[in-house]
């Protein structure tokens, strides 16, 4: 099967013909239908996060179950699924405390040393990026990396729920648990940021200030519920937000993964406000946080993929979409085939798109 593989940091992805093994006892083989192009994979491409190579990337996908292992009871061939990188064991301390997204024992859900690898290229193992490897015609996963969804959900939009929506909406409604009437600022209006905006609208925020350096993204943000937009190229967004709010915003969300914008997110909150970092900041970078500002009960919190329990959350998000409460249509800027994956990343880096979806069914 064809898959986009990173062989070397700093080099383009290469579409290769990989061997995929048969499902083990609790594994599921999924025919991938759509996969979103998310910035987090790019961290491994440019080396700002380190991981073993070669690796097949992609982690935001939907598909249809093709084959299940002998002990799988949750899924059957033909089921429509979304994959999620928050694979959970269901037995560890974090899973049992309602925090499956920080599962302590995900290693036990991988194939172990000495076993045949799930993916290989000419007999050599290829790692699954984020445990998923979704830029591929097939995904071979533990069943606890999958959630079953309604078959009337369009699978291209379903793919976005696997990462951007779960992460962005979840950061607002779970990690931060904003109250209705809260004021919210979101820095970065890509797929995750737009989802945070949509989450703030769902949760009844009174003001939602979108912040980006592209006017066309600020316009797009309004379709997701933003009430105002700030172009950070024109002025310091911290000063603008402090001025607009008379002293700071209740909740800020950073959806880019940059040191500077994380620090801005903290600097724009009011006393007892919360700054929530959703983006993946390059490994080793230290945020500089004004200690004296903490005195007023300010909070800097990280969000691990929206603090999700994805088997609970994702079916809700599907319903929200189908009931008209969650805009996903406008999040997809373009649909392209796997062969154009490197162009899709170039578009993302240029700020041209909210989300590109790779489609495997010829619908591009």
Q: What's the angle, vertex CA 49, arms to CA 307 and CA 212, rounded to 5?
A: 65
Question: CA of 199: how far to CAs of 20, 173, 224, in Å?
Answer: 37, 7, 9
Q: Using the rule CB under 8 A, is 260 a contact of a second copy?
A: no
DSSP-derived pairing of the beta strands 80-83 and 61-68: antiparallel
Q: Which CB atom, from 310 or from 321, has the smaller least distance to a second copy?
A: 310
Which of 64, 125, 293, 322 touches a second copy by CB under 8 A?
293
**Shortest distance, position 290 Cβ to a second copy, whole Å:** 6
Strand partners, 15: 4
Tell me the C-alpha distance between 139 and 32, whole Å: 7
Q: Which CB atom, from 220 or from 276, has the smaller least distance to a second copy?
A: 276
Q: Using the rule CB under 8 A, is 336 a contact of a second copy?
A: no
Is the bond leading into 94 cis (omega within 30 degrees of zero)? no
Sorted by sequence, the CB contacts under 8 Å of residue 256 that are 6+ apart come out as 39, 187, 188, 190, 193, 279
- Could you say which of 39, 59, 142, 174 is catalytic? 59
Contact, 66 vs 21, CB < 8 A?
no
**Shortest distance, position 177 Cβ to a second copy, whole Å:** 12
Q: Using the rule CB under 8 A, is 207 a contact of a second copy?
A: no
- Of 118, 130, 154, nearest in space to 60 by CA: 130
Q: What would the DSSP string read from start to end of 175-204?
A: IS-PPTT-EEEEE--SHHHHHHHHHHHHTT
Tell me the C-alpha distance between 307 and 335, whole Å: 29
Q: Which CB atom, from 9 or from 96, has the smaller least distance to a second copy?
A: 96
* Whether 84 is catalytic: no
The window from 22-30, 99-107, 117-125, 130-138 that contacts a second copy (CB under 8 A) reads 99-107
**Shortest distance, position 2 Cβ to a second copy, whole Å:** 30
Q: Using the rule CB under 8 A, is 322 a contact of a second copy?
A: no
- Could you say which of 89, 95, 163, 276 is catalytic? 163
Binders of a second copy among 263-292, rule CB under 8 A? Answer: 271-272, 277, 280-292
* Whether 142 is catalytic: no
**Shortest distance, position 93 Cβ to a second copy, whole Å:** 9
**Shortest distance, position 242 Cβ to a second copy, whole Å:** 14
Q: What's the angle, vertex CA 75, arms to CA 153 and CA 96, rounded to 5?
A: 100
* Whether 80 is catalytic: no
**Three-state secondary structure call for residue 235:** coil
Q: Using the rule CB under 8 A, is 297 a contact of a second copy?
A: yes
The window from 154-162, 293-301, 342-350, 356-364 that contacts a second copy (CB under 8 A) reads 293-301
Tell me the C-alpha distance between 357 and 61, whole Å: 9
Alpha helices in 87-190 (DSSP H): 93-96, 155-160, 166-170
* Whether 216 is catalytic: no
Binders of a second copy among 146-175, rule CB under 8 A? Answer: 175
Which two tokens mark 168?
A: 């962005």
Q: Which CB atom, from 17 or from 297, has the smaller least distance to a second copy?
A: 297
**Shortest distance, position 159 Cβ to a second copy, whole Å:** 22
**Shortest distance, position 288 Cβ to a second copy, whole Å:** 4
- Binding map of a second copy across residues 43-72, x = CB under 8 A, - = no contact: ------------------------------
**What are φ and ψ of residue 206, in 5° steps?**
-85, -35
* Whether 59 is catalytic: yes
Cβ atoms within 10 A of the Cβ of 59, count?
Answer: 23
Residues that bind a second copy (CB under 8 A): 94, 99, 101-102, 175, 259, 262, 271-272, 277, 280-304, 307
- Catalytic residue ranges: 38, 40, 43, 59, 163
């Amino acid at each position: 099967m064809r898959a986009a593989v990173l062989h070397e940091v700093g080099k383009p992805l290469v579409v290769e013909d990989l061997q995929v093994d048969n499902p083990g006892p609790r594994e599921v083989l999924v025919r991938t239908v759509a996969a979103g192009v998310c910035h987090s994979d790019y961290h491994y491409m440019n080396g700002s996060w380190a991981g073993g190579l070669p690796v097949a990337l992609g982690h935001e996908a939907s598909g249809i179950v093709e084959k299940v292992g002998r002990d799988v009871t949750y899924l059957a061939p033909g089921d429509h699924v979304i994959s999620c990188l928050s694979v959970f064991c269901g037995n560890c301390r974090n899973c049992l405390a309602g925090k499956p997204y920080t599962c302590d024992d995900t290693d036990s859900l991988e194939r172990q040393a000495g076993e045949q690898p799930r993916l290989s290229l000419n007999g050599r193992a290829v790692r699954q990026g984020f445990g998923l490897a979704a830029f591929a015609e097939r995904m071979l996963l533990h069943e606890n990396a999958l959630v079953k969804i309604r078959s009337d959900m369009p699978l291209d939009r379903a793919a976005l729920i696997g990462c951007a929506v779960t992460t962005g909406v979840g950061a607002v409604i779970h990690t931060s648990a904003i109250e209705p009437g809260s004021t919210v600022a979101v820095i970065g209006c890509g797929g995750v940021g737009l989802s945070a905006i949509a989450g703030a609208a769902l949760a009844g925020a009174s003001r939602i200030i979108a912040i980006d350096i592209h006017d066309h993204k600020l316009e797009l943000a309004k379709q997701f519920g933003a009430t105002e937009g700030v172009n950070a190229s024109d002025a310091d967004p911290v000063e603008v937000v402090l001025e607009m709010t008379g002293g700071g915003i209740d909740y800020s969300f950073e959806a880019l993964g940059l040191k500077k914008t994380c620090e801005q997110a903290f600097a724009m909150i009011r006393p007892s406000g919360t700054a929530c970092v959703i983006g993946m900041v390059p490994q080793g970078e230290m945020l500089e946080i004004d200690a004296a500002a903490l005195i007023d009960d300010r909070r800097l919190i990280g969000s691990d993929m929206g603090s999700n329990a994805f088997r609970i959350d994702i079916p809700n998000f599907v319903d929200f979409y189908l009931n008209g409460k969650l805009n996903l249509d406008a999040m997809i800027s373009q649909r392209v085939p796997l062969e154009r994956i490197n162009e899709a990343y170039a578009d993302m880096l240029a700020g041209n798109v909210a989300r590109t979806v790779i489609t495997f069914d010829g619908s591009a």
